[in-house]
Amino acid sequence: MTNGMAEATVRDGEEPEPRRRRGIPDSGTGLPRPRAEDTPVPPSAPAPVPPPDLERRRRRAEFLRDLKEARELRERVQPRRARVARMRRQQLRMRSFRW
C-alpha cells in the first residue's frame, strides 16, 4: 500500500523520467530552470522595482469602463430588470450610510 500516493516505477531497462515542477519547463538537462527570485542579485545592481501603480490604475480604469458599458447594455436590453437592480443598489447604499 502507498497511502494513496503515486509511486514512480522503473521497468526493466528503462530510465525513470525526471520529475518536473509544474509550470517551469526544463531546458533538456532534466533540471528545472532557475527562477528569477532564485538567482543571486549582485550588490551593485538596483533592487527589483515592483510594478508601478500606474499600470494597476490603468487596468482598473479599463475594468470600470467595461463594467459601465455592460450596465448600459443591460439597461437597454432589459430595462425593467436593470431598474430593479439599480433600486436595489441604491437601497443597499442607503442602508450602509451612517448618519
Domain extent listing, the chain: 53-96
pLDDT tens digits for range 66-96: 999 998 998 889 888 888 988 999 999 998 8
Where residue 9 falls among pLDDT bands split at 50, 70, 90?
Answer: low
Rounded to two decimals, the pTM is 0.36
- Let me know: does 61 contact 54? Beta carbons within 8 Å: no
Name the nearest CA neighbour of 85 among 61, 96, 73.
73
- Let me know: does 10 contact 4? Beta carbons within 8 Å: no
How far apart, in Å, are the Cα atoms of 97 and each of 33, 68, 83, 84? 53, 23, 21, 20
Distance CA 69, CA 77 (A): 12
**What DSSP character marks residue 35?**
P
